[in-house]
Amino acid sequence: MEQTASGPAPEKLSLKVKFVYGVGAIEYGARIFVMGLLLFFYNQIVGLPAAMVSLALSISLLIDAFWDPMIGHVSDNLRTRLGRRHLLMYLAIVPFFVCFVLLFRPPEGLTHWQTFAWLLTFLLLTRFSVSLFEVPAAALGPELAPDYHDRTVMMGVRYALLIGGGAVATNLGYFYFFRPTPEFPSGQLNPEAWGPLTLAVGVMMLAAMVICTVGTHHRIARLHQPPVRRASLKRTLGDVAATLKNWNVGVVVVAAMISGMAAGVYSGLGLYLATYFWGLPAQQVGVLEMARLLGAVLAAFIAPPLSRRFGKKRTTMGLFFAAVAANSAPYILALAGLFPGKGAAELLPLLIVFRFFGDTLAAGGYVVVTSMIADVTDDALAKTGRRSEGLLMSADSFLQQVTTAMSAMLPGLILAAVNFPDRPAPGMVTDAMARELVMIYLPVTIAISTMSIATWAFFRIDQKTHEQNLRTAREAMARAEAASESGEPPAVGAPVTSGRI
């Protein structure tokens, strides 16, 4: 068996297992696409004021932020015949599908506040149910692939499939269901298109969740089972505090928290900008979005070798900074009068080039960051003797969701600031409104993204630290197993210096 400085080399997964596990991310990619259109759908199609839609999105994200760590901690400590993760993943599938489908089908004739109540109710139910799948599935990754570099490869496969799910959903939307009609030349404004689209995407997400859960079922017997412990509130809170008291966890959480703000703004305004600033019909928006698929596939190949050559931290920071520049350039050039205008023949090809490079760079950064977050779970394991992937992976999203919840109000407020109309008739949205929208959107997202990327400079785990963590973790878990039998807190071995506070 291959050896490392910390002993026998960790098992490397087959491509089949990496692929089946990654299929679960298709659900996430498709859901990002459709849920990112919620503000547009409820504002431009249903007619609910943008500020009310943003309020519902904000409330649901804020509540969901507290729900995820609870699921993560429960998942970490479950002892069932289906292991720690799979029971929750199985339970999530049907409720999520039902709630998601109903979310995009508000009854006709409701008042604004009744529509708001429908939106908020099914947003909450959709987010709650999908968390039962996503939190355990994300926590499954670090345990499936403990090897430092093999983990990055698996995350690359997972991210490529995530973007693939978004690309398929994009294809269904912009090339099929949003086809232009005489009444609606911009098919995304056709109310009749949204029901079939969301049903088709819902079925696709349902299938992805089933394949991931059933396809990794055979690994249950090889996964960690938590020791039997006498649980108490004091002990549970102590376990959570010990796990989260980690410098690298803090770096991850702060970086995610800041990036969540930019994500909230982009998610809410992306289709508005494509439709009204660039003047793209549905098919051209679809072509532009499809550039992400090729970018994600390329990123899955370039991220692992770049990470090996330059290290994970330097790679992810460089890729993210370059991505911000590439994605911002078209807007900056357009505001300066140096980019083709609406309807120009060269507009779409140039946007595709910038989008391809920007999303390739961003996807590569995301692949490496996901691997870095997984490394944190081993760092925490070495210090506590407990496997807490669920808690740590959800802690990563906790403050991100809190800040995304707060920033979810921003798109609605920005639209109100430029007097953007609800469910507008043709011609109501002027070029001046669209330009003013970009002039607010651009500096906000650049500034927030830059702060988030800079935070990764404080990350302290490299390959040498990771391998030492694996050795320390094996010893610490053995002591934790022995301590659990006596009911005493585990005595964790001397932790490595990196990552300690």
Rounded to 10 degrees, the C-alpha dihedral 20/23/25/28 comes to -150
CA distance 404 to 258: 9
Is the model's pLDDT at 340 over the cut of 90? yes
- Per mean pLDDT, which range of 118-122, 252-256, 420-424, 464-468 is the poorest? 464-468
Residue of higher predicted confidence among 1 and 41: 41
Is the model's pLDDT at 477 over the cut of 60? no
Q: Residue 210: its pLDDT value, please? A: 94
Residue range 451-476: average pLDDT?
A: 73
pTM for the whole structure? 0.62
CATH, range 16-222+232-486: 1.20.1250.20
- Per mean pLDDT, which range of 24-38, 63-77, 178-192, 467-481 is the poorest? 467-481
Is the model's pLDDT at 95 over the cut of 60? yes
Is the model's pLDDT at 22 over the cut of 70? yes
Q: Residue 366: its pLDDT value, please? A: 78
CA distance 166 to 123: 20
Q: How does pLDDT run across 282-332, given as a tens digit for each residue?
A: 888 888 877 777 777 788 788 888 888 888 888 889 999 999 999 999 999
Q: Residue 36: its pLDDT value, please? A: 82
Cβ(149)–Cβ(368) below 8 Å: no
Could you give the residue ranges of the DSSP H alpha helices within 145-184? 148-170
Q: How does pLDDT run across 173-198, given as a tens digit for each residue?
A: 888 898 888 888 878 889 999 999 99
Could you give the residue ranges of the DSSP H alpha helices within 78-111? 86-103
Cross-strand partners of 3: 8
Residue of higher predicted confidence among 334 and 421: 334
Q: How does pLDDT run across 105-123, given as a tens digit for each residue?
A: 999 989 999 999 999 999 9
Sole residue written with tokens 């080039």: 353
Q: Tell me, rounded to whole angstroms, the distance of Cα 403 from its chain centroid.
A: 14
Q: How does pLDDT run across 367-411, given as a tens digit for each residue?
A: 787 777 767 766 666 666 555 555 555 555 554 555 555 556 677
Is the model's pLDDT at 497 over the cut of 50? no
Q: What Rg, from alpha-carbon coordinates, does the chain have?
A: 23
Pairing verdict, β 3-4 and 7-8? antiparallel
Q: Tell me, rounded to whole angstroms, the distance of Cα 143 from its chain centroid.
A: 19
pLDDT band at 203 (very low <50, low <70, confident <90, very high): very high
Q: Is 8 helix (H, G, I), strand (E, B) or coil?
A: strand
Q: Tell me, rounded to whole angstroms, the distance of Cα 259 from its chain centroid.
A: 11
Residue 143 region by backbone torsions, left for phi larger than 0, else alpha for psi between -120 and 50, else beta = alpha
Mean per-residue pLDDT of the chain? 78
Residue range 253-266: average pLDDT?
A: 74
Q: Residue 298: its pLDDT value, please? A: 82
Q: Residue 226: its pLDDT value, please? A: 53
Q: Residue 349: its pLDDT value, please? A: 93
pLDDT > 90: what percent of the chain?
A: 22
